[in-house]
Amino acid sequence: MRIAQLEIHPAQLEAYKAALREEIKASLSLEPGVLALYAVSLKDNPTQIWIFETYAGKDAYESHLKTPHFLRYKTATQHMVKTLKLVEADSIQIDAKPM
């Protein structure tokens, strides 16, 4: 489990969100080891994006970083991201209804 906290340049916010949506859809449909990706923007400050990321394990995460869709997202968005902070976390209880 990891939380990515990003700040996006305001002028690029819509382009960034479109790229992120594509990346999340591709990751969930193509990678068995990507279990959940929750991306939200903060209501009081919409250029702040938080992404909750759940992987099956370390290997699944390492392999995710090498996929064409992740590399495409990373390249496309590198100049849109002002700051990026990664917070490592341990699961306490994760429950969700089927989507």
Nearest to 1 by CA among 35, 24, 28, 31: 35
Stretch that binds a copy of itself, among 58-66, 72-80, 86-94 (CB under 8 A): 86-94
Residues across the chain:
99
11 or 18: whose CB is closer to a copy of itself? 18
Q: Does 11 bind a copy of itself (CB under 8 A)?
A: no
The phi and psi torsions of 45 (rounded to 5 degrees) equal -160, 80
Among 9, 46, 82, 84, binds a copy of itself (CB under 8 A): 46
Contact indicator for 62, 17 with CB cutoff of 8 Å:
no
Residues that bind a copy of itself (CB under 8 A): 1, 3, 17, 20-21, 24-25, 27-28, 34-44, 46, 49-50, 52, 54, 87-99
